[in-house]
Structure formats: structure tokens, C-alpha cells
Amino acid sequence: MPEIKIREAKLSDAEALTTLYPHWGIELAEKRIGRALNSKYEKRYIAEIDGKVVAHLLVRFERGAHKHLATFYSLIVHPEYRKKGIATKLVEYAISKLPENIEIVLAQVQHDNVGSLMLFKKLGFEQYGLLKDAWKKEKSCKDNILLKRAVRKP
Ligand SMILES: CC(C)(COP(=O)(O)OP(=O)(O)OC[C@H]1O[C@@H](n2cnc3c(N)ncnc32)[C@H](O)[C@@H]1OP(=O)(O)O)[C@@H](O)C(=O)NCCC(=O)NCCS
């Protein structure tokens, strides 16, 4: 298995990210990467194998009285690279880079996304709730499972 490199996304990764999120398009991918690079409240990480971007994770930091909370979004691994421990490395790396003030990491997973749910549970996240109809498109709705992991003692 070649080495997995985890790092922050750069503007030059925009095209590669559209292979993970085809509906973004390069312009939107650049805008999103740029926002993370210029914000104290976001980090976008990618996993790279042999120079190819194969996974992505967005971390957002809350503000004010919620500034001890971070939320993980948009975790995805390219279908050809799944089941090789890449998501595990990406999530653990993002946790290791959290600022000192972060005490709890949150995540939401659609109830039928078994892979992500099992992954987060394996990495110590616990379910604390269910958001009914969190996702709505035309006539379909899906619930989100709400997950949390304490990363530091308050
Ligand atoms: C879920 C996902 C991130 C896992 O990535 P991965 O790199 O394959 O995960 P890992 O290899 O690190 O897996 C670690 C653990 O997670 C769990 N897991 C991962 N994929 C799983 C699956 N399909 N079914 C059940 N458990 C799974 C297992 O417990 C696994 O441990 P094991 O290999 O010892 O069984 C990946 O399958 C994916 O991107 N799925 C699509 C997610 C999606 O739709 N995201 C869009 C959000 S916007």
C-alpha cells in the first residue's frame, strides 16, 4: 500500500476535488478551498496517494459561546480507494490538528450511509440524536444521525 499523505487542500486541488464531488465544478471547488484557506473557522483536508487526491474532509469551528465545538462535514473517499484505512487517517489527522479550545467534535450522517456511520462509531463517535427529515429533495426525505466525540476534558 503506497503512503497516504494528509494535508490541507490547496487551490490547485480544485480540479481533483471535482472527481470526488462532480456537481461542484472547478469554480465552486476553488471558491470553497479559497474560503477555507482564508478563514479561521474552516479547514479543508485531503488525502493524497501517489500525488492523486483520493479523499476529503471539511472541519468547521464554531464561534462565541460555542467555540469549544467543531463539526466534521463532507467526508468522502474515492470509491476505488475505500477500505484501505484512508478515512480513518483523515479523521484522526483532523482531530490531531484541532485547536486547544475544541472539546467536542460533531458530525451528521444520513441514516442510510452505513459506511460513514460505522466509521465514525469505530473512531469513538457516539450517537446523541436523530434529526428527522434533515435532507429533503423533491418528494423524498432522509433523517440524519447526530454524532459527537469528546476530544478533550472541559
Ligand atoms: C464511509 C467512507 C468515508 C469510509 O472510507 P474508508 O477509507 O473506506 O474507511 P476506512 O477504510 O478507514 O474504514 C474504517 C472502518 O470504517 C467502517 N467502514 C468503512 N466503510 C464501511 C462500509 N462500507 N460498511 C461498513 N463499515 C464500514 C469499518 O468499521 C472500517 O473498519 P474495518 O476496515 O476494520 O472494517 C467511504 O466509504 C465513503 O466515502 N463513503 C461515501 C460517503 C459519502 O457518501 N459521503 C458524502 C458526504 S457529503
Any idea where the domains of the chain sit in the sequence?
4-150
Ligand 1 centroid vs 119 CA: distance in angstroms? 5
- What number is the average pLDDT over the span 127-139? 96
Instruction: Report how far residue 130's alpha carbon sits from residue 123's, in angstroms, rounded to the nearest whole number.
Output: 19
The pLDDT tens digits for 70-105 are 999 999 999 999 999 999 999 999 999 999 999 999
Other beta carbons within 10 Å of 31: 13
Q: Residue 37: phi, psi to the nearest 5?
A: -65, -25
Cβ-contact 59, 14 below 8 angstroms: no
| pTM, entire model | 0.95
Cβ-contact 122, 90 below 8 angstroms: no
Rounded to 10 degrees, the C-alpha dihedral 145/121/95/107 comes to 0
pLDDT above 90 for 154: no
Nearest CA to ligand 1 atom 26: 115
Q: Is the CB of 74 under 6 A from ligand 1?
A: yes
**pLDDT on residue 121:** 98
CA distances from 26 to 57, 66, 120, 124, 141 (A): 17, 33, 29, 34, 29
Other beta carbons within 10 Å of 26: 12
Ligand 1, pocket-test mutation among 19, 48, 82, most atoms within 8 A of CB? 82
Q: Is the CB of 150 under 6 A from ligand 1?
A: no
Q: How large a percentage of the chain has pLDDT more than 70?
A: 99
Q: CATH for 4-150?
A: 3.40.630.30
